[in-house]
Amino acid sequence: MSTAVAGTSTRRIVIAVTALFVLAPILLITYQSFLTAPFFDPKAQLSLWAYEFVFREPDFWRALGTTAMLAVGMTAISVPLGALLAFLMTRTDMPGRNVLEPLLLVPIFLSPLVLAFGYVVTIGPVGFVTVWWKQYLGNPVWDIYSFSSLVVIAGLTHAPHVYLYASSALRSLPGDLEEAARVTGAKPGRVAMDVSLPMITPALLFSGVLIFFLGFEVFGLPLILGDPQGLLVLSTYLYKLTNKLGVPSYQLMAVVVMVIIAVALPLVFVQRLLLRTAQRFIAVRGKAVRTNLVALRAWRWPAFLLIAGWFAGTVMLPMMGLVLRSFVSSWGLGINLIDVLTLDNYIELFDDSEVVSAIINTLAIATIGGALSIGCYTVIALAQHRWTSAWVRFADYIVMLPRAMPGIVAGLAIFWVFLFTKPLAPLRTTLFAVWVAYTLVWLAYGLRLVQSALLQVAPELEEAARVTGAGLGRAMRDVTIPLIKHGMLAAWLLILLIFVREYSTAVYLLGPGTEVIGSLVVSRWGGGAIDIVTCLSCINVALISLGLLVALRLGVKLHG
Amino acid sequence: MISAYSISGTLQRAAFAAVAGFMAFGVQIQSLPAQSLPAGYPADYQTLVDAAKKEGTVTVYATTDAKAAAPLIKDFEALYGIKIEYNDLNSTELYNRLIAESAAGTGTADISWSSAPDLQIKLAADGLALAYASPEIPLLPKWAVMENMAYGTTYEPMAIIYNKSQVPAEDVPQSHKDLAKLLATKAAAYKGKITAYDPERSGVGFLMMNRDVKADPASWDLFKAMGAADIKVYTSAGAMIEKVGSGEHSIAYNIFASYGLLSIKKNPNLVMVWPKDYTLIATRVAFIPSKAKHPAAGKLFLDYLLSKRGQSIIAKGELFSIRGDVEGKETAKAVDDLLGDKARPIPVSRELLETLEQSKRLEFLNQWQAAIKK
């Protein structure tokens, strides 16, 4: 049927516009990497100097190695864990699923910067859990500043990303195959491994590749946890490069981005190869089947405890530290916490007019901006949908590119694009610029969410519509989009949370009127106002948890 | 003759116009609060005030927290009725924004006010600062003004901060020498307990260590002792103070006294020492960008920042006034009374450009690496 692709000119326009937005900052960075000075400096000359400089640095190679190990390690932890969480939550009769569901998402909207700091307060060398442990159990068996701690924490906190992909894919699968397996005597673990999870291989592959990329971009965790030992990953190495020469050297930063892109492109190629077989996984057919849950029996409570334990370690532990820190003036050795309890930090916080507008802006950009972004992602996904063409291959490659830039570089590049493109210049100091930056940086991510949903839709439904005379637009509007609307809703919620949490991208666009919580946290952290940072983060988490709970209560279904 | 007459007539008319203008001027002055023009300002300063008012706003890019700057903003707005758009950035972001906006020709901030003096001086030296001789110059120290472009605005000692629950009284270092001795003699007890800015990752850290070596070449011995005690280096003062406060580390080296004061207030275990052998004095440097959108308002704010009125607010806000005629605890006067001739201000001068020269910088960093190697 692929010959019957219609609307190719519209598809081409959509992909071309996407490419324009994506490539503008990327080409700028690429050009920058071959210069001797900032691209806008008249003294700048073409040269390979920046590449020579970076490749001669032992620190660069160390950082590259560490980053690769981190990315592999965290993918190895979060993909199986996320898949397991998804299976338990969607396909089994595990107790407490309704309570756990919103909680599972919490790590996604915790900024890694504050999460890491929370860990320092609880299980750092003088954290209160550590002190308690020393008192009763002897020397702690962990070192929060070690590389393995970083990998484990990164892996645990990224599992919900996988969970979201995997669970939305699982939910759109009929349960008859699992039921058949169960009836013929397969144990729950066997059902998961041999039936459910293989069926969602595309979603797992997508999420695996994305987690691997996020590994190259992780910044907040290594910034805090790697600081005392001087542990460098590429994103913190960028920081070091900035100061090594005294003045920010964009050409050096650009070279590091080029390296990350060089890693990214082959991965997209591998991913495309793996997904050529995606046809095999089409599961949403034109017939509705009620899903029966897999009975866990004796495994019910152990499964529950597993998730609860993961949640305690990933969320409760750092959050406890964070909440505690927000209510005290000081903490640690020689301090009785009762003596230092205070509300001053919060009182101070609400004295701050910047904070109030940051909260409002963040909510606006997350809800309205998030919805608009999902709209854009859906248009792009539909433009590629059921179309075998060089254009689609091209689009697959370019959408990954913005994610190859660490947030802070992406922010800087977008700042440049807005600044040096005359028609865009007036928009630079508005929230619109922040929205563009966010939409671009999370393009790969959001697009994959929508595509994951689209992959599950069988072609015959759309074909039926086309055969009965509907145009391509009509078929998409009346068949495809209604079929993926749950996927879109879930994607919107996820993007909303991501936008709330996003912190480094908007730093260069920060100004009166464009404050968002994330960039404010970064700027206040730099200024040493740790009380403000912790309070702001606690409020951030509280607000979203509340919003999420209300939404679920009101019947907004995360999944179909 | 005729021409002479006409000249004197022109002069007469000019004089008349001047008087009329002055009268009009006088009326305007009366309409302002009496304290708006400090003593010693030139008579035509009012034209600058008027031009600034016409511009209506002044955009400030600053590394000083918006909260710390709030009293200054409020007072300035009340005084002149000119709105301040305050952008709170870190010194790298400030630098990046300023050079990009200057190059793009879209106009940039009206004041750049940063705690990274080396970057500020680089910007000024690169032609991104407007030359403007503030009427406050006679009241500022000579080292704090660079070529009528860049001005030092504060007088902040670089302190040692320690946690008294972790450092017994007899160990407390009162000078750089003490600290070096303590770390050398009790290296085991203070292993992993001393912390400082990482000169490789922090521009401020680099500058301060560089100035340490200038003030006393024996600083290399101190750095060696730090290395032997397994020093932990950070990128932000906030993280260092937090961890000295919690007891994870015991002593933080080269911390701005303005940060120190804030943290001491919140945590009674923290104590600040200004080293007795010498104390580096840092200053936040301000200038008007040459591509400022509102240069008149920028000039007005710069003068205000340096004025006795502005500096008194700076002193109250614990940022340490640079003027000798401002009273209070957080002032240059109080600091000098305590330190005598041991204050070592970091000059606002082209001398700092040297620290940004690539080969010299990398050489210093190599020396640093060698010094802290165990």
DSSP result, A30-69: HHHHTBSS-TTSTT--B-SHHHHHHHH-HHHHHHHHHHHH
Question: How many Å from the N-terminal Cα to the C-terminal Cα in chain B?
Answer: 91
The verdict on B171 and B258 lying in the same domain is: yes
Domains in chain B, number:
2
Quickly count helices (H) and strands (E) in chain A: 30, 0
Domain containing residue A109: CATH number: 1.10.3720.10
Q: How far apart, in whole angstroms, are the C-alpha atoms of residue A33 and residue A41?
A: 14
* Span A2-59, pLDDT tens digits: 444 567 888 899 999 999 999 999 999 999 999 998 999 888 899 999 999 999 988 8
The verdict on B116 and B263 lying in the same domain is: no
Chain B residues 234-253 with a CB less than 8 Å from chain A: 234-239, 241-243, 245-248
The verdict on B137 and B94 lying in the same domain is: yes
- Considering the domain boundaries, does residue A137 fall inside one? yes
Inspect the interface and report whether the beta carbons of B66 and A227 lie closer than 8 Å. no
* Span A278-307, pLDDT tens digits: 545 555 544 445 566 777 778 889 999 999
Q: How far apart, in whole angstroms, are the C-alpha atoms of residue A346 and residue A532?
A: 8
Q: How far apart, in whole angstroms, are the C-alpha atoms of residue B139 and residue B148?
A: 14
Per the structure block, which two tokens stand in for A117?
A: 């700091």
Inspect the interface and report whether the beta carbons of B100 and A526 lie closer than 8 Å. no
- Considering the domain boundaries, does residue B20 fall inside one? no
Adjacent-strand bridge partners of A369: none
* Span A214-226, pLDDT tens digits: 888 888 899 889 8
Backbone angles phi, psi at B282, to 5 degrees: -100, 155
A305: Cβ contacts below 8 Å, ≥ 6 apart: none
The verdict on B58 and B114 lying in the same domain is: yes
Domains in chain A, number:
1
Instruction: Quote the distance between the C-alpha of residue A99 and its chain's center.
Output: 23
Residues of chain B in contact with residue A419, where contact means CB-CB under 8 angstroms, are: 100-101, 104, 106
The verdict on B117 and B87 lying in the same domain is: yes
Domain containing residue B174: CATH number: 3.40.190.10
- Considering the domain boundaries, does residue B75 fall inside one? yes
Residues of chain B in contact with residue A329, where contact means CB-CB under 8 angstroms, are: 266-267
- Considering the domain boundaries, does residue A558 fall inside one? no
The verdict on B90 and B219 lying in the same domain is: no
Inspect the interface and report whether the beta carbons of A247 and B122 lie closer than 8 Å. yes
- Can you give the pLDDT at residue B241? 92
- Considering the domain boundaries, does residue B13 fall inside one? no
The verdict on B216 and B175 lying in the same domain is: yes
Chain B residues 20-39 with a CB less than 8 Å from chain A: none
- Considering the domain boundaries, does residue A559 fall inside one? no
Q: Which residues of chain B fall short of a pLDDT of 50?
A: 1-35
- Considering the domain boundaries, does residue B30 fall inside one? no
Q: Please report where in the chains the tokens 């580096």 appear, as a residue.
A: B280
Parent domain of B237: 157-281+354-372
A390: Cβ contacts below 8 Å, ≥ 6 apart: none
Q: How far apart, in whole angstroms, are the C-alpha atoms of residue B63 and residue B181?
A: 35
Adjacent-strand bridge partners of B251: B162, B194
Phi-psi region of B320 (alpha: psi -120 to 50; beta: other; left: phi over 0): left
Is some CB atom of chain A closer than 8 A to the CB atom of B108? Answer: no
- Considering the domain boundaries, does residue A154 fall inside one? yes
Inspect the interface and report whether the beta carbons of A330 and B245 lie closer than 8 Å. yes
Q: Which of B56, B41, B31 is nearest to B309 (CA)?
A: B41
Determine the distance in angstroms separating the CA of B258 from the nearest CA of chain A, rounded to an integer.
11
A372: Cβ contacts below 8 Å, ≥ 6 apart: A435, A439
DSSP label at A368?
I
- Considering the domain boundaries, does residue B336 fall inside one? no
Q: What is the chain A residue with the closest CA to B123?
A: A247
Q: How far apart, in whole angstroms, are the C-alpha atoms of residue A222 and residue A234?
A: 10
The verdict on B275 and B289 lying in the same domain is: no
- Considering the domain boundaries, does residue B220 fall inside one? yes
Q: How far apart, in whole angstroms, are the C-alpha atoms of residue B2 and residue A43?
A: 58
3-state secondary structure of A470: coil
Determine the distance in angstroms separating the CA of A377 from the nearest CA of chain B, rounded to an integer.
30
Q: How far apart, in whole angstroms, are the C-alpha atoms of residue A282 and residue A353?
A: 52
Inspect the interface and report whether the beta carbons of A334 and B232 lie closer than 8 Å. no
Inspect the interface and report whether the beta carbons of A415 and B100 lie closer than 8 Å. yes
Q: How far apart, in whole angstroms, are the C-alpha atoms of residue A391 and residue A11?
A: 9
Q: What is the chain A residue with the closest CA to B353?
A: A246
The verdict on B81 and B163 lying in the same domain is: no
**Cβ–Cβ < 8 Å for A489, A164:** no
- Can you give the pLDDT at residue B35? 46
- Can you give the pLDDT at residue B102? 92
- Can you give the pLDDT at residue B7? 42
Q: How far apart, in whole angstroms, are the C-alpha atoms of residue B314 and residue B141?
A: 17
- Considering the domain boundaries, does residue B117 fall inside one? yes
- Considering the domain boundaries, does residue B7 fall inside one? no
Q: How many CB atoms lie within 10 A of CB A179?
A: 17
Q: Which of A468, A496, A462 is nearest to A481 (CA)?
A: A462
- Can you give the pLDDT at residue A288? 46
Backbone angles phi, psi at A557, to 5 degrees: -90, 125
- Considering the domain boundaries, does residue A560 fall inside one? no
The verdict on B145 and B86 lying in the same domain is: yes
Q: Please report where in the chains the tokens 């969607």 appear, as a residue.
A: A90
- Can you give the pLDDT at residue B156? 96
Inspect the interface and report whether the beta carbons of B92 and A248 lie closer than 8 Å. yes
- Considering the domain boundaries, does residue A350 fall inside one? yes
A227, A419, A507 member nearest B235 (Cβ): A227
The beta-strand segments (E) located in chain B are 57-62, 83-88, 111-114, 145-146, 150-152, 156-163, 194-197, 232-234, 251-256, 270-273, 279-282, 285-287, 343-345
Inspect the interface and report whether the beta carbons of A529 and B67 lie closer than 8 Å. yes
Backbone angles phi, psi at B271, to 5 degrees: -130, 145
- Can you give the pLDDT at residue A142? 87
Q: How far apart, in whole angstroms, are the C-alpha atoms of residue A6 and residue A3?
A: 9
Residue B127 CA: distances (Å) to CA of B130, B290, B346: 8, 7, 22
Inspect the interface and report whether the beta carbons of A239 and B95 lie closer than 8 Å. no
A126, A419, A525 member nearest B100 (Cβ): A419
Grouped pLDDT means (10 residues each) for chain A, 560 residues: 62 91 92 92 90 92 94 95 91 84 80 86 88 85 90 93 83 76 82 82 82 85 85 85 83 90 82 62 50 77 91 91 88 80 84 83 91 94 85 86 81 89 85 91 85 79 84 83 81 83 80 82 76 85 74 56
Q: How far apart, in whole angstroms, are the C-alpha atoms of residue B87 and residue A502?
A: 20
* Span A435-458, pLDDT tens digits: 999 999 889 888 887 887 787 777
Q: How far apart, in whole angstroms, are the C-alpha atoms of residue A46 and residue A35?
A: 5
Q: What is the chain B residue with the closest CA to A532?
A: B67
Parent domain of A492: 2-553
